[in-house]
Structure 1
């Protein structure tokens, strides 16, 4: 179903983005009213909070705890972190993933979830050359094109919402999600497969500073804009997508980008 046939208005996109920009926040501490409870006398009652910005990006903030919050051994007040970064609360050390797993079962799970792994290839696709990454490379054009736009517009929330509306309105299937009253999670899965569009809610959020938003954009861009071959992942940096397309293949791993 195309968006033109689903009668989705600009206001609907704006309202949806505004709703999605309320990022999940997980309080961490010794007291039972925290979403992540750690029964350790050295951890303060309200020790820190974790803000989920994307499937792999978070902000950890210390809440004036007595014994401090550390990221990879360095004491911090507030910092952008990855899911695998080492977080030490007083003398208790975890990764972000381990902290999220400690959320009590009765609490809501993280609203932003990583995309489901792809289904096993169909029998008819088994003959596809092992180094054929043409489809994945084509998707990187959106990453390259969206990066400067998101970086520019993240300084102005209203402009970011308008930019997000344009990005989302170009995605096939979003109209169907909205018109049928679908939940936010399926939409985020759609967004996560479309360049850097999964960052739109984060960049519209009032919880983050402009510098934090820019850091997250740069981090996600560096992570995505690489050779799509998982065994290579050679970073493209600032190289133009069109020039890479003319190159047609990876000189490092020989992955085919363009037939």
Structure 2
């Protein structure tokens, strides 16, 4: 009897004045059930207004904001619920953290060979996921290979939403498969998410540099061996 592959459901965080919300915001003009966040990755979310009385807004530029019904947002983005301004990461203190990972001091501060090697998964998987994200059956088959080797069935329940995502951090772009398989996102939103995550990840791994690699082939960067901008070592 063949086993059935189960993809974890996309997690939801509710925002509002009511005490039953995931994040309780006790402000007069915030509705009882004001908005919700669909967790797409450790740093990417779909922010959706729940028909609130005073609206949900996004910082379109440094000087203006626009009212939104639904939008892909990042932890660093500024949002407004009614007239109250928040940076998204202030509402979600656990997001973006990987408590299971300990950053050890490097013998050579410019040695990023391990981090660079992980980027091959990002480069290889991006076009594959972009091609197949419209086909749930193909996503399920990909997850049967990737997901089962990384996590157990009970991981979401035992590790929590962000703990679960942290466990997938070494899985390249495959961390997005549960989101790309979800009916809660449109195809356009899935493609926008893929592009955003790829651009954020496919960069020089030195945190003080982070030069975007753009469309440069991984093999070409591998032959280059080091970053011309910061001199970080990618390949010994």
Is the CA contact (8 Å cut-off) linking 2:16 and 2:32 kept in structure 1? yes
Matched, 1:96 2:73: no
Q: Using CA pairs under 8 Å that are at least 6 residues apart, name the structure with larger relative contact order, 1 or 2.
A: 1
Is the CA contact (8 Å cut-off) linking 1:47 and 1:64 kept in structure 2? yes
Distance 1:37 1:211 in 2: 30
| Matched length | 226
Which of 171, 177, 180 does residue 203 from structure 1 map onto? 180
**SS class of match (1:195):** helix
Question: Unaligned stretches of 5+ in structure 2?
Answer: 60-64
**SS class of match (2:92):** helix
- Shift in CA distance, 117/229, structure 1 to aligned 2, threshold 3 Å: farther
- Shift in CA distance, 114/121, structure 1 to aligned 2, threshold 3 Å: closer
Task: Indicate the residue corresponding to 1:159 in structure 2.
Answer: 138
Distance 1:187 1:68 in 2: 31
Question: Unaligned stretches of 5+ in structure 1?
Answer: 1-8, 102-109
Is the CA contact (8 Å cut-off) linking 1:31 and 1:45 kept in structure 2? yes
Distance 2:2 2:200 in 1: 31
Taking structure 1 as the reference length, what is the TM-score of the superposition?
0.79
Bigger mean CA deviation after superposition, 222-231 or 45-54:
45-54
- Shift in CA distance, 47/189, structure 1 to aligned 2, threshold 3 Å: closer
Task: Indicate the residue corresponding to 1:193 in structure 2.
Answer: 170
**SS class of match (2:171):** coil
**SS class of match (2:73):** strand
Is the CA contact (8 Å cut-off) linking 2:41 and 2:165 kept in structure 1? no
Deviation at 1:117, TM superposition (A): 6.5
- Shift in CA distance, 117/168, structure 1 to aligned 2, threshold 3 Å: closer
Q: CA RMSD in A?
A: 2.4
Is the CA contact (8 Å cut-off) linking 2:10 and 2:40 kept in structure 1? yes
- Shift in CA distance, 187/71, structure 1 to aligned 2, threshold 3 Å: closer
Which of 112, 116, 119 does residue 99 from structure 2 map onto? 116
| Structure whose alpha-carbon radius of gyration is higher | 1
Is the CA contact (8 Å cut-off) linking 2:17 and 2:26 kept in structure 1? yes
Deviation at 1:240, TM superposition (A): 0.5
- Shift in CA distance, 63/136, structure 1 to aligned 2, threshold 3 Å: same
**SS class of match (2:232):** coil
- Shift in CA distance, 67/248, structure 1 to aligned 2, threshold 3 Å: same
Distance 2:2 2:201 in 1: 29
Deviation at 1:34, TM superposition (A): 2.7
Deviation at 1:130, TM superposition (A): 2.3
Is the CA contact (8 Å cut-off) linking 1:10 and 1:165 kept in structure 2? no
Task: Indicate the residue corresponding to 1:25 in structure 2.
Answer: 12
Distance 1:219 1:84 in 2: 13
Is the CA contact (8 Å cut-off) linking 1:157 and 1:204 kept in structure 2? yes
Is the CA contact (8 Å cut-off) linking 1:30 and 1:40 kept in structure 2? yes
Distance 1:33 1:132 in 2: 47
Is the CA contact (8 Å cut-off) linking 2:204 and 2:212 kept in structure 1? yes
Distance 1:189 1:132 in 2: 23
